Structure 1
Amino acid sequence: MVVPAPLRLFKSLSDDTRLKLVLMIMAEQEMCVCEMAHALDESQPKISRHLALLRQNGLLADRREGQWVYYRLAPGLDPGSLAVLRATLEHFRPYIDLPLQRLARMGNRPERQRLCC
């Protein structure tokens, strides 16, 4: 079980980009860097730096598929952290509406990969 310390959890979520990344990943279950960069209208290096911090702090895990790296919530994330994240997504879903709309305009995953990766 991955147990981020409360301070580390809240510091990880205290940045606008990182919070949106985590919430979008929760909403989509898994996303690649190029999808996130497009949805947030940010550069891939900036997104990658934020993802690295979230991974280091135990919130995210990644997997490589060819040239793409996909991120998801860390398997075994502790129940307290999951509860905070689920409640945040449930109560503040409009916070990520615009990025998710941008993502939806990209189409499904195979189309997304052709568009941005």
Structure 2
Amino acid sequence: MQDIVAILAAMAEPTRLAAMRLLWDGDEHCVCELMRRIDASQSRMSRHMGALKSAGLVVDRRDAQWVRYRVNPALPPATRAIVEAVMAALPLANREAA
């Protein structure tokens, strides 16, 4: 139960939800792209990505001066189902904006 609360809490913040929406396409995205598409500063984006990483939802990879993020490929099936349900519940306009 605690894991579910941590996952939902991580995704409850609008910037983190927007980042997950972008990452949910299955691709890897650099933090610079996330910053640009979400209109967030580097420090704000890093803080929010750290929260998603702590919740186990994303993994990162350093590529020279960039950090690239993607959905954690090792998400347990129950966690993946929770995230899928959240993504499906987003209004269609919000899903297309990502």
TM range (shorter): 0.7 to 0.9
Count of residue pairs the alignment pairs up: 96
**In the TM superposition, what is the alpha-carbon distance from 1:66 to its structure 2 partner?**
1.2
Which has the higher relative contact order, 1 or 2, with Cα contacts under 8 A spaced 6 or more apart? 1
Q: In structure 2, which of residues 6, 9, 12 is the aligned counterpart of residue 8 of structure 1?
A: 6
Query: Identity rate of aligned residues, in percent?
Result: 31
Pairwise CA RMSD: 1.7
| Cα distance in structure 2, aligned partners of 1:96 and 1:53 | 22
After TM superposition, where is structure 1 displaced by more than 4 Å over at least 4 residues in a row? none
Match runs of 1:28-67 below 5 Å: 29-67=27-65
Larger Cα-atom Rg: 1
Greater alpha carbon shift after TM alignment, 80-89 vs 31-40: 80-89
Unaligned runs of 5+ in 2: none
- The alpha carbon displacement at 1:11 in A equals 0.4
Unmatched tracts of structure 1, length 5 or more: 101-117
Q: Secondary structure at the match of 1:77?
A: coil
* Residue deviations 1:41-99 (CA, integer Å, cap 9, x gap): 1111101100011111111100111111100111211111111222333442422433x
Q: TM-score, normalised by structure 2?
A: 0.86
